Homo-oligomer: A and B are copies of this chain.
């Protein structure tokens, strides 16, 4: 049986990275491990690791990106919840067998080679859930 192991990260969509870092890094004192441009997603991502799960801030770098559209429609705030799974292929098969609507029917491959897939928020009560095999 595939198993959900942990929360990997919580992604927050932000309008202004510097203003956001003034809160998360400077006011809360969280460590900024990295700030990376992700051209494939037309976004910039800040990684703020904690023990266990981390917080990621995602800012669109182009108006036509998916994240820019989300921001325009829903406003800034929590964007998705990423759960670690030990067997993403098995989990996607299990979800399909239970009629759970998926955004990605098959795992996608991240730049670091790891597999991920998104479940449709309609299936998860309005939460955009990412599965990530680490």
Contact = CB atoms under 8 A, between A and B. Distances in A.
A50 B7 contact: yes
Interface residues on A, range: 35 or more
A81 B126 contact: no
Interface string A72-94: 00011110010100000001001
| Identical chains bound together, number | 2
Interface stretch (A22-30, A34-42, A60-68, A108-116): A22-30
A52 B4 CA distance: 12
Contacts of A30: 4
Nearest to A81: B10
Nearest to A3: B29
Interface string A98-134: 1010000000000000000000010111110000000
Contacts of A123: 23, 27
Contacts of A94: 27, 29
B126 A75 contact: yes
A50 B126 contact: no
5 contacts: A7-B52, A10-B10, A12-B125, A15-B125, A53-B53
